[in-house]
Amino acid sequence: MGTSSRLLGYVESRKNLTGSVCGLAGVGITLTGAAGGLWPLVVGGLYAAGALIAPPERPDTPHFPNAGEQLDSLRADFATLRDYLDEVELPSATRDGLTELATLVEALLEPGWVSDPDHLHALGRAVRQDIPEAVDTFVRTRWWSRVAPGAEPPERHLERQLSVLHEEMSGIAAALRQAEAIRQEIHTRYLEDRGP
């Protein structure tokens, strides 16, 4: 930060503005003749007192993305993941499980459903880490198993991983369904209690 930036920052600061108002009051006192020959000390003293009592500068509050902004970012990352998954060579049974999981995740990412921070975190972890890592590990392991046959097929691990992820995403969907059912029930009771 240069000298001119610091100077401009001070000119616009609360300390300078409060000090200037107090200094103007000192000029008013001088014009009435009450300060006499000590008017420079009165004006300077009032400016200094105003600058000292002024509230300190506050830094701006940091902006963190809200649930809607997080979902927008997550949707963009999911589109990137979908492009990656479309290019990967997978056995048909595994491809079906992955498609089912991706469809569920896509439904959860629709606007207006997920706003709970824990659910957002789980979705973000699945999209940005768990699914791509599971598929990438499968692709790498599958290549090595072709070179050295006889080990447990990597498809089994991938199918188990996808099953666990599907269960986790289904849990989020079930929680959302339950929340909506409770909301509907509360609204019904409200309408019934309100009467005609």
Which pLDDT belongs to residue 1? 56
What are the residue boundaries of the structural domains of the chain, listed by start?
3-53, 67-194
* Higher-pLDDT residue of 147, 95: 95
C-alpha torsion 42→44→50→51, nearest 10: -160
Which pLDDT belongs to residue 150? 66
| Residue whose structure tokens are 């649930």 | 67
Q: Is the pLDDT of residue 79 over 90?
A: yes
Which pLDDT belongs to residue 146? 60
Q: Is the pLDDT of residue 30 over 90?
A: no
Residue 102: both structure tokens together:
């991706």
Residue 5: both structure tokens together:
């930036």
- Whole-angstrom distance, CA of residue 178 vs CA of residue 154: 36
Could you report the per-residue pLDDT of 149-168, keeping only the tens digit for each?
666 778 888 999 999 999 99
List of residues 6+ apart from 39 with CB closer than 8 A: 26, 29, 30
Could you report the per-residue pLDDT of 128-140, keeping only the tens digit for each?
999 999 999 998 8
> What is the average pLDDT across 68-80?
91
Which pLDDT belongs to residue 43? 86
- Count of C-beta atoms within a 10 Å radius of residue 95: 13
Closest CA to 112 of 167, 169, 179, 186: 179
Q: What's the CA angle centered on 147, arms 128 and 141, to 5 degrees? A: 15
